[in-house]
């Protein structure tokens, strides 16, 4: 291993002061992209194909897919903060985070291979839950490595590269799943990429260590109670969490029925092609702004204005889908959403790491924060379906999405400890 030498406490629990290098940032970003590839190859392609093959008589493929992904989402909500907390307490000679990154990607790869061999819905659901369990262990440790090692003034930049890697990981996973030549081959390809892309970080860079004396005595009651972070005691974290949740919820509502919007409201002849074009426009603008936004935030030393105005831009974009129901309007909205979400992704991540209450619990607290990313994916369908069906259709849906995201963006002003 090379890079910064392993350090015992207090280095592991102190606020970092030494800037990380480009190599460390690139390796961590690649590991982050690997996790997202392992998730989104199945989510975008493979699970849907497998559901169509394994759906029993009397049960639609849509129902199978909904049950399997729903169970996986439930596992994700629990696993991320749980493994973050376990990594906080890890005293391995390899550090607090690296053992969980390595174990998580290896376990996730094995679970993807089990999914490739699934011959029934129960086996498919069990395999996907194992994938979520293992990859969330890796993801919790990857994100916790940032406040462990990156000084405040560099976190926007590092967050930007992690955000870019996240998007590219989604693209890589989707591409591997599509090009591999079958469901089983797609799962194996995603598994192999997930492991290989993580190796540079795990093998090259040493992690910070804590001593056994700095690990608090374990008691189940205290351990479980730690997952409740009092908004009264930590108001900045509470407002930051709510900001992230509402902005992500607005974005999830806006994207959920995009194909149906193109087909039913805009009457596009091939709506799936339209979704591909809009996704490409959105992705290009996101990649163009996610790193730039983080660097700009670091240079100014401010976070809240970037989060606020990126949220406003996203709300405007979503409102355009309600009031300008044309293909041109959809293209403009996709571009604005890419710009807004790119800046939001990098700077909001930096903001979150800046309001963490205690160094000893960074992994657990970031795991709880990450629920604000996954919970909107569960809540969006429950909110969107009745709106589209009974309460005014797509104009009302997109106005709801815009209002939700705007409310989240405005709440960032309630944070007091960060500029």
- Mean pLDDT estimate for the chain: 87
Q: What are phi and psi of 85, to 5 degrees?
A: -65, -40
What's the start-to-end Cα distance of the chain, in Å?
Answer: 37
% of the chain beyond a pLDDT of 70? 95
Alpha helices in 150-234 (DSSP H): 155-179, 183-196, 199-204, 220-225
Taking only the tens place, the pLDDT of each residue in 83-110 is 998 998 898 889 999 999 999 999 999 9
Instruction: Flag whether pLDDT at 8 surpasses 50.
Output: no
| Nearest alpha-carbon partner for 376 in 255, 239, 228 | 255
Instruction: Flag whether pLDDT at 406 surpasses 60.
Output: yes
Confidence (pTM) = 0.84
| Nearest alpha-carbon partner for 397 in 309, 337, 321 | 321
Confidence of residue 6 (pLDDT cuts 50, 70, 90): very low
Average pLDDT score over residue span 383-389: 79
Instruction: Flag whether pLDDT at 260 surpasses 80.
Output: no
Instruction: Flag whether pLDDT at 238 surpasses 80.
Output: yes
b/e map 117-129, b = 16+ CB within 10 Å: ebeebeebbbbbb
The pLDDT value given to residue 11: 63
Confidence of residue 14 (pLDDT cuts 50, 70, 90): confident
Q: Which helix (H) or strand (E) holds 336?
A: helix 327-354
Q: What is the DSSP letter of 218?
A: P
207 within 8 A of 96, measured Cβ to Cβ = yes
81 within 8 A of 371, measured Cβ to Cβ = yes
159 within 8 A of 350, measured Cβ to Cβ = yes
| Nearest alpha-carbon partner for 395 in 336, 319, 328 | 319
Average pLDDT score over residue span 42-58: 87
71 within 8 A of 85, measured Cβ to Cβ = no
| Residue corresponding to tokens 């990098």 | 346
The residue ranking higher by pLDDT, 179 or 190, is: 190
| Nearest alpha-carbon partner for 25 in 3, 55, 52 | 3
Q: What are phi and psi of 205, to 5 degrees?
A: -115, 130
The pLDDT value given to residue 216: 65
The pLDDT value given to residue 306: 93
Q: What are phi and psi of 2, to 5 degrees?
A: -125, -170
Taking only the tens place, the pLDDT of each residue in 68-90 is 888 888 899 889 899 998 998 89
Confidence of residue 360 (pLDDT cuts 50, 70, 90): confident
The pLDDT value given to residue 211: 77
Instruction: Flag whether pLDDT at 5 surpasses 70.
Output: no
Confidence of residue 217 (pLDDT cuts 50, 70, 90): low
Confidence of residue 368 (pLDDT cuts 50, 70, 90): confident
Domains in the chain (CATH in brackets) are 22-225 (1.20.1250.20), 235-414 (1.20.1250.20)
CA distances from 388 to 350, 384, 400, 406 (A): 35, 6, 11, 20
Taking only the tens place, the pLDDT of each residue in 15-37 is 888 899 999 999 999 999 999 99
Confidence of residue 227 (pLDDT cuts 50, 70, 90): confident
The residue ranking higher by pLDDT, 307 or 213, is: 307
- Mean pLDDT is highest, among 190-204, 256-270, 365-379, for 190-204
Question: What's the CA gap between 281 and 333, in Å, rounded?
Answer: 10
Q: What is the DSSP letter of 6?
A: P
Helix (H, G, I), strand (E, B) or coil at 417: coil
The pLDDT value given to residue 335: 94
Average pLDDT score over residue span 166-195: 91
% of the chain beyond a pLDDT of 90? 46
What tokens were used for 235? 């108001």
The residue ranking higher by pLDDT, 298 or 259, is: 298
Biggest distance spanned by C-alpha atoms of the chain: 66
The pLDDT value given to residue 218: 66
CA atoms within 13 A on the CB side of 161: 20
The pLDDT value given to residue 9: 47
Question: What's the CA gap between 389 and 356, in Å, rounded?
Answer: 41
Instruction: Flag whether pLDDT at 4 surpasses 90.
Output: no
The pLDDT value given to residue 2: 43
Confidence of residue 7 (pLDDT cuts 50, 70, 90): very low
b/e map 246-271, b = 16+ CB within 10 Å: bbbbbbbbbbbbbeebbbebbebeeb
Long-range contacts of 233-237 (CB under 8 A, 24+ apart): 233/357, 234/355, 234/357, 235/414, 235/416, 236/355, 236/415, 236/416, 236/417, 236/418, 237/355, 237/356, 237/357, 237/365, 237/369
186 within 8 A of 45, measured Cβ to Cβ = yes
């Amino acid at each position: 291993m090379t890079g910064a030498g392993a350090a015992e406490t207090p280095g592991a629990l102190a606020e970092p002061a030494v800037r990380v290098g480009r190599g460390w940032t690139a390796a961590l970003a690649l590991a982050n992209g690997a996790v997202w590839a392992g998730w989104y190859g199945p989510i975008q392609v493979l699970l849907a194909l497998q559901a169509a093959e394994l759906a029993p008589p009397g049960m639609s493929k849509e129902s199978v897919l909904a049950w399997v992904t729903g169970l996986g989402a439930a596992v994700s909500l629990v696993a991320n903060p749980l493994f973050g907390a376990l990594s906080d307490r890890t005293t391995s000679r390899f550090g607090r985070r690296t053992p969980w990154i390595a174990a998580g990607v290896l376990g996730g790869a094995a679970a993807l291979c089990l999914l490739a061999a699934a011959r029934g819905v129960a086996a498919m659901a069990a395999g996907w839950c194992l994938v979520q369990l293992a990859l969330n262990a890796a993801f919790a440790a990857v994100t916790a490595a940032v406040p462990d090692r990156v000084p405040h003034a560099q976190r926007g930049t590092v967050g930007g590269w992690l955000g870019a890697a996240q998007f590219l990981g989604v693209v890589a996973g989707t591409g591997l799943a599509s090009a591999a030549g079958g469901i089983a081959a797609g799962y194996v390809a995603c598994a192999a990429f997930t492991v290989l892309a993580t190796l540079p970080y795990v093998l090259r860079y040493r992690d910070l260590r804590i001593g056994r004396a700095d690990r608090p005595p374990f008691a189940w009651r205290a351990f479980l109670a730690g997952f409740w972070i009092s908004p009264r005691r930590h108001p900045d974290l509470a407002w930051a969490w709510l900001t992230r949740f509402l902005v992500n919820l607005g974005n999830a509502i806006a994207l959920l029925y995009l194909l149906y919007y193109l087909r039913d409201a805009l009457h596009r002849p091939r709506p799936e092609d339209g979704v591909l074009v809009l996704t490409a426009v959105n992705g290009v603008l996101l990649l163009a702004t996610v790193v730039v936004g983080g660097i700009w935030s670091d240079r100014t030393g401010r976070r809240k204005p970037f989060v606020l105005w990126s949220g406003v831009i996203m709300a405007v974009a979503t409102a355009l889908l309600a009031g300008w129901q044309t293909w041109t309007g959809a293209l403009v909205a996709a571009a604005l959403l890419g710009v807004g979400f790119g800046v939001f992704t990098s700077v909001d991540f930096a903001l979150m790491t800046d309001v963490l209450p205690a160094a000893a619990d960074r992994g657990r607290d970031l795991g709880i924060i990450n629920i604000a990313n996954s919970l909107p994916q569960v809540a969006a369908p429950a909110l969107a379906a009745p709106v589209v069906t009974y309460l005014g259709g797509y104009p009302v849906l997109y106005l709801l999405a815009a209002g939700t995201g705007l409310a989240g963006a405005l709440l960032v002003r309630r944070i007091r400890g960060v500029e």
